[in-house]
């Protein structure tokens, strides 16, 4: 059964397009990831699907309800964990959950039972009556995940669920997400700019850049697109020469220049390395380092967008700084 | 426009309950908001008490004249803050949590008004209680009940106004502007501190569009039995203002985007 269907979803903000004709669908029980750099439009997609933002154009259904026409029905069938914390610090953990459950119209007995369940799931049972302002960052996140689940939603939205958490806490959160996806029919859609996160958690990943989905598949199939291993050669000069020599080899599936490295994809990379170095030597080019790896989603991202996620984020930050500067000048 | 059956009483109750819990836990906030009216009451009341103020009946002490004004002031400040507190919820992200729930916007506004009105009323009554301890006398129990009606109307009017501002502002940086250019003028123009008859006519006319003018006058009429307009006239005008502000507040809140 299809729980989210988006068709040409688009959002403009003051003359700039944040989300550009995005279409995808996801099924019940699926763990679906939107992977992309900051500013790619992931949060805007989530905000539109959760009825907080009106789409400029396009259409979407969540749990069978139209996000523009049946807002309250959509709201009743989803749970959401926002990128920024959205807890009331002056209330205890239990009070935050009680507030939530009552807003969703749950009865007293049902509330009590369900709150106990979700608190056990995220292992916060012994902290329920502590004010949230005393919680650590990881505990707040876990409480929010628990809250998103209290009213038994059909779809759970997680917007950058591990942003700003240390590596160990991140692992922990990943385990909770895996655990709750395994045992139930709940569909989870998460956004992230961490490659490992998308790779480790998601059944399918949509790579999103500049408001567009550039690729969508299972992590393994996305990596298969590159066709085998990635070999990176570092050469001091005449990188173009080497590139034109290697381009015509039959077993080199793809070749790309990036930041002084030559990235080649091929099968059985470890066997081909001596050959590569031989060719370079023959034309008088010295290879200063070689790196062989199985392709990661980072390589996939690089393949589809021509940049790594980090570079894309830097250039995005520069763009927004530039915009800010211009705005300041106008004042 | 508003469907009665869509009003969600559980949601209104839980929003109110949240306000109450926050109110009880934020003792410094309560003390902070009570301090200013008490200082006004103590220093102005004691300082001016032996002076006769032109345009005021001789047998009314200044402090008797002042107490209803200071109660009106407390209601004005706490209610505006309650309305504007939507901005704090937006700042701390909690507004989004409220807005993604399947509760219609009218109930959310009503919940906020219920919570804000209660906290404002508690603070207004605290000021009244302290004044009674300081020797202020009211004309009777029924007058006390009537004055509570006026306090409730002042509260809803200014929570509505606060909601309008909160819906139009993106963050809390504009708050001091509102403090200086809206709240203080509303206070000074209301006749809380001095009889409006002393003002030049062109300023007096401005004070006639200030809802607090009728609130303070109504409180004076009910608590000490002296007022410029009749109590019923004040009541009718204030009912009009509070309905208008609540509807406008709800309208702008509904229109505003929560992210």
| pLDDT by 10s per residue, chain A, length 331 | 789 999 999 999 988 999 999 999 999 999 999 999 988 999 999 999 999 999 999 999 999 999 999 999 999 999 999 999 999 999 999 999 999 999 999 999 999 999 999 999 889 999 999 999 999 999 999 999 999 999 999 999 999 999 888 888 899 889 889 888 887 789 999 999 999 999 999 999 999 999 999 999 999 999 888 878 888 989 887 888 888 888 888 888 888 888 888 888 888 888 888 988 888 888 888 888 998 988 889 888 988 888 888 777 777 776 666 666 665 554 4
CA distance A248 to B119: 78
Residues 6+ apart with CB under 8 A from A61: A4, A5, A6, A67
Task: Kindly list the distances between the CA atom of residue B69 and the CA atoms of A31, B187, B195, in Å, as whole numbers in the listed order.
Answer: 61, 9, 10
Task: Kindly list the distances between the CA atom of residue A301 and the CA atoms of A38, A207, A225, in Å, as whole numbers in the listed order.
Answer: 14, 7, 11
In this complex, the residue of A72, A95, A102 whose CB is nearest that of residue B102 is: A72
Do A90 and B13 lie within an 8 Å CB cutoff? no
Nearest C-alpha of chain B: how many angstroms from A317? Answer: 21
Exposure of A28 by Cβ count < 10 A (0-12 exposed, 13-18 middle, 19+ buried)?
A: middle
Q: Is B76 on the interface with A (CB under 8 A)?
A: no
Q: Which residue of B has its CA nearest to A77?
A: B102
Q: Are strands A261-266 and A254-258 parallel, antiparallel or unpaired?
A: antiparallel
In this predicted structure, what is the pLDDT of residue A229?
Answer: 87
- SS3 for A97-148 is HHHHHHHCCCCHHHHHHHHHHHHHHCCCHHHCCCEHHHCCHHHHHHHHHHHH
In this predicted structure, what is the pLDDT of residue A151?
Answer: 93
CA distance B66 to A223: 77
Please report residues of A whose CB lies closer than 8 A to that of B99. Answer: 52
Q: Is A100 on the interface with B (CB under 8 A)?
A: yes
- Collect contacts of B52-56 with beta carbons under 8 A, ≥24 apart: B53/B194, B53/B195, B53/B198, B54/B198, B55/B195, B55/B197, B55/B198, B56/B195
Query: Which ipTM value was assigned to this complex?
Result: 0.88
Please report residues of A whose CB lies closer than 8 A to that of B25. Answer: 90
Q: Is A181 on the interface with B (CB under 8 A)?
A: no
In this predicted structure, what is the pLDDT of residue A153?
Answer: 94
- Residue A155: left if φ>0, alpha if ψ -120 to 50, beta else—which one? beta
Do A103 and B11 lie within an 8 Å CB cutoff? yes
Q: Which residues pair with A31 in a beta bridge?
A: A188
In tens, the pLDDT along B123-177 reads 999 999 999 998 888 888 888 999 999 999 999 999 999 999 999 887 778 888 8
pTM: 0.86
Find the range with the poorest average confidence among A103-117, A191-205, B5-19, B54-68. Answer: B54-68
């Amino acid at each position: 059964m299809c729980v989210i269907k988006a068709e040409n979803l688009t959002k403009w903000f003051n003359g700039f397009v944040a989300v550009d004709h995005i279409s995808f669908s996801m099924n019940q029980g699926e763990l679906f990831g939107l992977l992309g750099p900051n500013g790619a439009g992931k949060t805007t997609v989530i905000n539109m699907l959760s009825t907080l933002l009106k789409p400029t154009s396009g259409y979407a259904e969540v749990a069978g309800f139209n996000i523009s026409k049946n807002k309250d029905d959509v709201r009743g069938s989803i749970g959401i964990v926002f990128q920024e914390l959205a807890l009331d610090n002056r209330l205890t953990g239990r009070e935050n959950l009680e507030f939530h459950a009552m807003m969703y119209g749950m009865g007293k007995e049902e509330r009590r039972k369900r709150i106990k369940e979700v608190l056990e799931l995220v292992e916060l049972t012994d902290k329920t009556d502590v004010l949230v302002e005393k919680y650590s960052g990881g505990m707040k996140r876990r409480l929010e995940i628990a809250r998103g689940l209290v009213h038994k939603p059909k779809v759970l939205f997680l917007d950058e669920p591990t942003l700003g958490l240390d590596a160990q806490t991140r692992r922990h959160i990943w385990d909770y997400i895996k655990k709750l996806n395994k045992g139930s029919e709940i569909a989870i859609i998460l956004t992230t700019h961490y490659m490992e996160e998308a790779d480790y958690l998601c059944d399918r990943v949509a790579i999103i850049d500049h408001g567009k989905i550039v690729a969508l598949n299972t992590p393994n199939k996305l990596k298969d697109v590159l066709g085998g291993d990635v070999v990176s050669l570092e050469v001091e000069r005449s990188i173009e020469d080497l590139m034109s020599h290697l381009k015509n080899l039959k077993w080199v599936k793809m070749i790309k220049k990036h930041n002084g490295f030559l990235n080649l994809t091929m099968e059985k990379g470890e066997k081909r390395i001596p050959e590569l170095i031989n060719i370079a030597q023959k034309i008088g080019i010295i290879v200063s380092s070689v790196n062989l790896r199985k392709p990661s989603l980072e390589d996939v991202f690089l393949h589809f967008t021509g940049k790594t996620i980090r570079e894309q984020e830097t250039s995005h930050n520069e763009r927004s700084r530039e915009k800010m500067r211009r705005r300041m000048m106008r004042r | 426009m508003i469907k009665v059956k869509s009003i969600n009483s559980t949601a209104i109750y839980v929003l109110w309950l949240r306000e109450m819990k926050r109110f009880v836990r934020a003792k410094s906030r309560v003390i902070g908001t009570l301090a200013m009216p008490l200082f006004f009451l103590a220093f102005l009341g004691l300082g001016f008490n032996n002076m006769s103020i032109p345009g005021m009946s001789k047998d009314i002490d200044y402090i008797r004249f002042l107490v209803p004004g200071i109660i009106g002031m407390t209601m004005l400040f706490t209610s505006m803050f309650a309305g504007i507190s939507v901005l704090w919820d937006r700042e701390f992200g909690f507004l989004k949590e409220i807005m993604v729930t399947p509760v219609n916007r009218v109930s959310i506004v009503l919940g906020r008004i219920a919570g804000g009105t209660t906290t404002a009323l508690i603070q207004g009554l605290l000021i009244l209680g302290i004044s009674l301890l300081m020797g202020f006398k009211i004309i009777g129990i029924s007058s006390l009940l009537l004055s509570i009606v006026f306090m409730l109307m002042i509260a809803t009017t200014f929570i509505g106004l606060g909601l309008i501002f909160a819906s139009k502002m993106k963050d809390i940086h504009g708050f001091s502007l509102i403090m200086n250019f809206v709240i203080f003028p509303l206070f000074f123009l209301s006749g809380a501190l001095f009889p409006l008859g002393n003002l030049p006519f062109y300023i007096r006319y401005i004070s006639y569009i200030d809802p607090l003018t009728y609130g303070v006058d109504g409180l004076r009429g009910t608590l000490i039995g002296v007022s410029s307009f009749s109590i019923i006239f004040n009541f009718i005008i204030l009912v009009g203002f509070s309905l208008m502000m609540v509807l406008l507040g709800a309208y702008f809140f509904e229109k505003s985007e929560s992210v």
